[in-house]
A = this chain, B = another copy of it.
Amino acid sequence: MANMDLQVEISGLKLKNPVIAASGTFGFGREYAEYIDLNKIGGISVKGLTLEPRKGNPPPRIAETPSGILNSVGLQNPGVDAFIKDEMPFLRQYDTAIIANVAGNTISDYCRIAEKLNDADVDAIEVNVSCPNVKEGCLAFGSSAKGVAEVTSSVRKVCKKPLIVKLTPNVSNISEIAKAAEEQGADAVSLINTILGLAIDIHTKRPVLKNNFGGLSGPAVKPVALRMVYEVSHSVNIPVIGMGGITTGEDAIEFFLAGARAVMVGTANFANPKACIEVLDGIALYMKNCNLTRLDDIVGKLELN
């Protein structure tokens, strides 16, 4: 449709469309640039960045489960400085939003990374308080409203970019945690990160992953992610970015209806490097078939029975 408008603004973060590549599944964009036109997607959330370079966890780091995968990468990354120096120039060649996903062991880590990114040409930062694959920090903060409030308020004080807080599903009450982020000045929340899981090799009697436990993602988690996106978007007034198992445009529409303003596509990229584009095309097709022209016509439009 000529007049279809998929633009969306997430508290100051302008996206040409609502499909963002999810952190950790898209690297720094280089490799997927061979398969798709990065200019076409709404944004890229880059691999989680830490203050210092991190080696990550020993392999194997991936296991396949029914309609899902477990990963235990453990935030392997070159560090925020190397990212700014070596990766940003490449990424900035493309007309797409760049979201810096960041993780820390301590609150001061988060703040120092945010400060460094203030001067970099990133469009937003996504504070990951939900990585299940590292021993210190991160998920420890994300598991309680108090921890999330602390990280958010501290980062908010120094961060000049739109601030997205990425939530973990491994909690009793995700709305409470989203509210804590909102109260402390988050501009948006994104969810869900992976669900902590375990896969066992019954022949070796050991976990498949060398790091033992890993994070579950992929279609298996979609019903849980949708429920949480619904809960959170009905508890906070800041925009919600939804993810968890999105593989098709229809999946994305479910997330919009549940209340997400934008979506992230993660695990689906692995089997299908064109997943982000196909999700985007699927969204446009659905809207065309329903004679809709703006995302606002569907965002949050789920009617409960």
Number of copies: 2
Contacts of A253 in B (CB 8 A): 202
Q: Are A70 and B223 in contact (CB under 8 A)?
A: yes
Given A172-B171, A198-B230, A305-B207, do A223 and B68 touch, yes or no (CB 8 Å)? Answer: yes
- In the bound complex, CA of A198 to CA of B231 (Å): 10
Contact in complex: B200, A257 (CB < 8 Å): yes
Which stretch (A18-26, A94-102, A209-217) binds chain B?
Answer: A209-217
A258 at the interface (CB under 8 A from B): yes
CB-nearest residue of chain B relative to A177?
Answer: B172
* Cross-chain contact B213 with A227 (CB below 8 angstroms): yes
User: Given the complex, which residues of B lie within 8 Å of A170, measured CB to CB?
Assistant: 172
Q: Which 8 A-B pairs have the closest CB atoms?
A: A197-B223, A66-B219, A67-B67, A220-B220, A66-B67, A198-B227, A200-B254, A198-B226
Query: Which residues of chain A have a CB within 8 Å of any CB of chain B?
Result: 65-68, 70, 143-144, 170-173, 195-200, 202, 205-207, 209-214, 216, 218-224, 226-227, 230, 245, 250, 253-254, 257-258, 286, 298, 301-305
